[in-house]
Amino acid sequence: MRSWARVAQWNPVDEWEGGFGWSQQEFMRRTSHALVVASRVWLIDPVDTPDLEERVRTLGEPAGVLQLLDRHARGCAVWAGRLGVPHLRAWESVGESPFEPLRVRSRRWWREVIGLHPLLRPFPPRTLGRVAPRRILCGHGEGVFEGAADALHEALQTGRRRLPAALLGATKAGLHPAGR
What's the pLDDT score for residue 58?
Answer: 95
Residue 40 has pLDDT above 90, yes or no: yes
Query: Can you tell me whether residue 99 is helix, strand or coil?
Result: coil
**Number of Cβ atoms within 10 Å of the Cβ of 97:** 17
Task: Say if residues 43 and 79 touch (Cβ distance below 8 Å).
Answer: yes
What's the pLDDT score for residue 5?
Answer: 38
The listed range with the strongest mean pLDDT (42-56, 108-122, 140-154) is: 42-56
Domains and CATH numbers, the chain: 9-175 (3.60.15)
Q: What is the mean pLDDT of residues 30-52?
A: 92
What's the pLDDT score for residue 15?
Answer: 93
Name the DSSP letter for residue 74: T
DSSP strands (E only) in 38-146: 40-44, 61-67, 87-89, 105-107, 110-112
What's the pLDDT score for residue 18?
Answer: 92
Between 106 and 174, the more confident residue is 106
Q: Would strands 40-44 and 9-16 be described as parallel, antiparallel, or unpaired? A: unpaired
Identify the band that residue 68 occupies on the pLDDT scale cut at 50, 70 and 90.
Answer: confident
Q: Above pLDDT 90, what percent of the chain?
A: 33
The DSSP secondary structure of 76-94, one letter per residue, reads HHHHHHHHT--EEETTT--
Residue 154 has pLDDT above 90, yes or no: no
Identify the band that residue 166 occupies on the pLDDT scale cut at 50, 70 and 90.
Answer: low
Between 171 and 150, the more confident residue is 150
Between 121 and 74, the more confident residue is 74
Distance between CA atoms of residues 152 and 140, nearest Å: 15
Distance between CA atoms of residues 143 and 13, nearest Å: 8
Identify the band that residue 175 occupies on the pLDDT scale cut at 50, 70 and 90.
Answer: very low
What's the pLDDT score for residue 179?
Answer: 39
Least Cα distance to 147 among 131, 132, 130 occurs for 132
Name the DSSP letter for residue 161: H
- Please, what is the average pLDDT of the chain? 79
For the chain, what is the radius of gyration of the CA atoms? 16
